[in-house]
Amino acid sequence: MMLKGLDPLLTPDLLWVLAAMGHGDDLALVDANFPAETVARRTTSGRLVRMPGLTMACAAEAVLSLLPIDTFVDDPVRRMEVVGDAVTLPPIQQEVQQVIDRAAGRALPLAGIERYAFYEAASRAFAVVQVGDMRPYGCFLIRKGVVLAE
| pLDDT per residue of the chain (150 residues) written in tens, 0 to 9 | 557 788 889 999 999 999 999 999 999 999 999 999 999 999 999 999 999 999 999 999 999 999 999 999 999 999 999 999 999 999 999 999 999 999 999 999 999 999 999 999 999 999 999 999 999 999 999 999 998 777
Residue 15 lies in a domain: no
- Domain residues for the domain of 43 are 24-144
The CATH number of the domain holding residue 111 is 3.40.1650.10
Residue 38 lies in a domain: yes
Number of domains in the chain: 1
Residue at 40: amino acid letter: A
Residue 66 lies in a domain: yes
Residue 5 lies in a domain: no
Residue 14 lies in a domain: no
Which residues are catalytic, by number?
23, 70, 119
- Give the pLDDT confidence score for residue 4 in this predicted structure: 79
Residue 57 lies in a domain: yes
Burial environment of residue 8 by CB neighbours within 10 A (0 to 12, 13 to 18, 19 or more) = exposed
Query: How does 53-64 read in b/e, with b if 16+ C-beta sit within 10 Å?
Result: ebbbbbbbbbbb
